[in-house]
Amino acid sequence: MSRSDLTEAAGRLSACRRIVVFTGAGVSAESGIPTFRGEGGIWEKYDPDVFGNIPGLGQVWLTQPQRLLDFITDALDTFLAAQPNAAHLVIGKAEAAGRIRAVVTQNVDDLHERGGTRTVFKLHGDLYTLRCLRCGRSGPLDRGRMERIRDQLDGMRSGRLAILKKLWEIMPRCGECEGLTRPDVVFFGESLPANVLRQAEEETRSCDAFLIVGTSGVVYPAALLPKLARSRGALVVEVNREASPYTEMSDFSFFGPAGSIVPELIPESPRPA
Ligand SMILES: [Zn+2]
């Protein structure tokens, strides 16, 4: 990456008013949420074949409630501690300034929203939304409630039956029918929310620039979006830790931390193109 390339890419982007930003685990990793499969990630400690789907989690609840307790505690600690980084913040500001149309993300955290972005299409769902297992209604799980659940987990450390019972008590219920709820995220084997994917495709089809941040593009169908942008003639800019399947199709690729590169690409006061 050379300084002149960065200046040139920023100049080209400053002329764009319909930028779509496509983000993945890399941008959240810089905020303290390790990529699930990466070093220190949650799948290093918990088998994704068991903990990565609802039937598996239900089975763990019944047979090893202590393990489920540990899993939920680890997950909540990680997500509650994360703070938006410079990339999230500058993206939020560029949206407010009318330069960015939407963020399409594969992350289930709330860092883009907390970074000020209003239009976020979450392809893999939202950890801060609960869906009723009985009636299907969705409702928000605000951070305060998540923190209270986290606090309650600390009190239960012994006895399989006691933990099982206590978990049953503190699991969030549906506001309508009192049914058990689940996080509205896409688990393994589940399909992406069709309406979200359709809206993301629509924005991508009409964007003038497509900015890839922190995603190496192996998970379909999300991985098709950069190709769609490219085929529609959009400027494609990539920010990743290392070369990816997107590098070849990108007009510019920058390798390094999103938190330092993205603010250079979409500065708060862009120079006129
Ligand atoms: Zn319900």
Which CATH number does the domain housing residue 232 bear? 3.40.50.1220
Residue 36 is predicted with a pLDDT of 80
Same domain as 150, residue 63: yes
58 part of a folded domain = yes
Active site residues: 124
Same domain as 248, residue 157: no
> Scanning the structure block, which residue is given the tokens 């999300």?
222
- State how far the Cα of 178 lies from the Cα of 259, in Å rounded to an integer: 42
* Phi, psi torsion values for 98, nearest 5 degrees: 85, 20
How far does residue 196's CA lie from ligand 1's centre (Å)?
22
* Predicted confidence (pLDDT) at residue 273 exceeds the cutoff of 50: no
104 part of a folded domain = yes
Q: What residue numbers bound the domain in which 104 lies?
A: 1-33+84-125+192-273
How far does residue 115's CA lie from ligand 1's centre (Å)?
31
Q: What is the mean pLDDT of residues 163-183?
A: 91
How far does residue 183's CA lie from ligand 1's centre (Å)?
13
* Predicted confidence (pLDDT) at residue 77 exceeds the cutoff of 90: yes
CB 229 within 8 A of CB 204: yes
User: Which of 87, 47, 125, 129 is closest to 261 using CA atoms?
Assistant: 87
Q: What is the mean pLDDT of residues 238-249?
A: 95
Same domain as 244, residue 196: yes
How far does residue 130's CA lie from ligand 1's centre (Å)?
10
User: Which of 97, 115, 109, 143 is closest to 33 using CA atoms?
Assistant: 109
The last residue of a domain, from among 184, 218, 253: 184
* Predicted confidence (pLDDT) at residue 236 exceeds the cutoff of 50: yes
The pLDDT confidence band at residue 1, using thresholds 50, 70 and 90, is: low
Same domain as 146, residue 109: no
- 204: its two tokens: 């991508």
Residues 6+ apart with CB under 8 A from 233: none
Q: What is the mean pLDDT of residues 39-45?
A: 87
For the chain, give the percent of residues with pLDDT over 70: 97
Number of structural domains in the chain: 2
130 part of a folded domain = no
How far does residue 135's CA lie from ligand 1's centre (Å)?
4
Residues 6+ apart with CB under 8 A from 78: 32, 33, 34, 42
Q: Which three-class secondary structure state does DSSP give residue 212?
A: strand
- State how far the Cα of 92 lies from the Cα of 76, in Å rounded to an integer: 24
Same domain as 113, residue 161: no
Same domain as 156, residue 115: no
The pLDDT confidence band at residue 111, using thresholds 50, 70 and 90, is: very high
Same domain as 2, residue 47: no
How far does residue 92's CA lie from ligand 1's centre (Å)?
33
- State how far the Cα of 257 lies from the Cα of 242, in Å rounded to an integer: 10
User: Which of 130, 144, 99 is closest to 117 using CA atoms?
Assistant: 99
Same domain as 221, residue 153: no
pTM: 0.94
Same domain as 207, residue 121: yes
Residues 6+ apart with CB under 8 A from 111: 27, 28, 31, 33, 82, 83, 84, 85, 88
Same domain as 234, residue 109: yes
CB 112 within 8 A of CB 120: yes
Same domain as 88, residue 52: no
